[in-house]
Amino acid sequence: MVNMSLSDFELEVMQIFWQLKEASAPEIHKIIEKKRAVKYSTVKTIIDRLEKKAAVARSRSEGRIIFYLPVMEKQNVRTPLIKEFINRVFLGKSRPLVAHIIEQEQLSIKDIEYLESVLREKKKELK
Amino acid sequence: MVNMSLSDFELEVMQIFWQLKEASAPEIHKIIEKKRAVKYSTVKTIIDRLEKKAAVARSRSEGRIIFYLPVMEKQNVRTPLIKEFINRVFLGKSRPLVAHIIEQEQLSIKDIEYLESVLREKKKELK
DNA sequence: CTAGCATCTCTACACCCGTAGACTTACTGT
DNA sequence: ACAGTAAGTCTACGGGTGTAGAGATGCTAG
């Protein structure tokens, strides 16, 4: 069961778990419902699938309500996704992706200065 | 039919079209086959779907062989994909994605210096 | 204690996508 | 001219995914 990938919706739910640490299906449902119409059972199905994939695990109950904790870690999910994305969209070359983001996406002066420092660090490391 | 998104495989084929400009199904098949086993008819199906989506168009024939040209442009496909990816995986925040790539992906000194210059340009623009 | 509601569980379904076989058709070399 | 083959067309199918209903079940307020 290693290397299980997450669907879009599953990832969306994991993002919420990573933020809240612990959450129940009703909570997750209420949060997602603010953005778009979705039935409780739909959300619960996704959480069930996450549980089957061992991405989350039951931690405790309050009455009938089951609480879950994220098991898969953000970094462990994101890293392969980034690699895949770069392969898929940029033929494995990260430089043009980074350049594109810097040029096209909204970055504040603070963001830029931060990224400059990250680059400086990296350069030091390479030399 | 605007805003048609491409599947993984469709995107893979488009990448080849963007490189070759003009290509036939047999050519594309031969290229992909070098990487993994896939039947001709599979590749042809993908090209047919790309044609239906107006991502490629027939340009000419040589005997029975149909040649196609890419119609969708690389930038027009990539830009929304990047946006989606940042939303999906980084909750819309591009800075941590860029930082991650700089730290984790392989970049040469030349890449880094190039990206530094891109950042410098961007900073100028913002001030 | 009971009615009603919230939550859980289980099942289902349609769509997309990767995959490819079967069949047709038109070149090409002898 | 014809056989063989390469290319094209058409159809199909299973798995993953988003979606949700139906039914069971256990809290909770009155």
> Which residues 6+ apart lie within 8 Å of A101 measured at CB?
A107, B82, B86, B94, B97, B98
Residue type, A126: L
Distance of alpha carbon B86 from alpha carbon B97, whole angstroms: 7
Distance of alpha carbon A112 from alpha carbon A77, whole angstroms: 26
Taking an 8 Å cut-off on Cβ atoms, the answer to whether B82 and A88 are in contact is no
Helix (H) or strand (E) holding A101: helix A94-104
CB-contacted nucleotides of strand D (7 Å): 6-12, 16-22, 25-28
Torsion on CA atoms B51, B18, B13, B2, rounded to nearest 10: -40
Mean pLDDT over B16-29 rounds to 98
**Which pLDDT score, from 0 to 100, does residue B2 have?**
54
**Which pLDDT score, from 0 to 100, does residue B1 have?**
57
CATH topology assigned to domain B8-70: Arc Repressor Mutant, subunit A (1.10.10)
Distance of alpha carbon B105 from alpha carbon A120, whole angstroms: 15
Taking an 8 Å cut-off on Cβ atoms, the answer to whether A126 and B109 are in contact is yes
Q: Which residues of chain A have pLDDT under 50?
A: none
Residues in B whose CB is inside 8 Å of some CB of A read 8, 11-12, 15, 78-79, 81-83, 85-86, 88-91, 94-95, 97-109, 111-116, 118-119, 122-123, 126-127
Task: Kindly give the pairing relationship between strand A56-62 and strand B23-24.
Answer: unpaired
Taking an 8 Å cut-off on Cβ atoms, the answer to whether A118 and B103 are in contact is yes
> Which residues 6+ apart lie within 8 Å of B45 measured at CB?
none
DSSP letters for B8-55? HHHHHHHHHHHHHSSEEHHHHHHHHHHHS---HHHHHHHHHHHHHTTS
**Which pLDDT score, from 0 to 100, does residue B3 have?**
58
**Which pLDDT score, from 0 to 100, does residue A25 have?**
98
List the beta bridge partners of residue B60: B67
- Domain-wise residue ranges, chain B: 8-70, 74-126
pLDDT one-digit tens code per residue, B35-94: 999 999 999 999 999 999 999 999 999 999 999 999 999 999 999 999 999 999 999 999
- The answer to whether strand D lies under 7 Å from the CB of residue B25 is yes
Helix (H) or strand (E) holding A93: none
| CATH tag, A1-92 | 1.10.10.10
Residue A80, min C-alpha distance to chain B (Å): 11
Residue type, B115: L
DSSP state of B69: E
| Exposed / middle / buried, residue B5 (Cβ in 10 Å: 0-12, 13-18, 19+) | exposed
SS3 B67: strand
Q: Which of residues 57-116 of B touch strand C (CB under 7 A)?
A: 63-64
- The answer to whether strand D lies under 7 Å from the CB of residue B56 is no
Determine the residue of chain B that is closest to A9 in CA distance: B88
Structure tokens belonging to residue B18: 């963007």
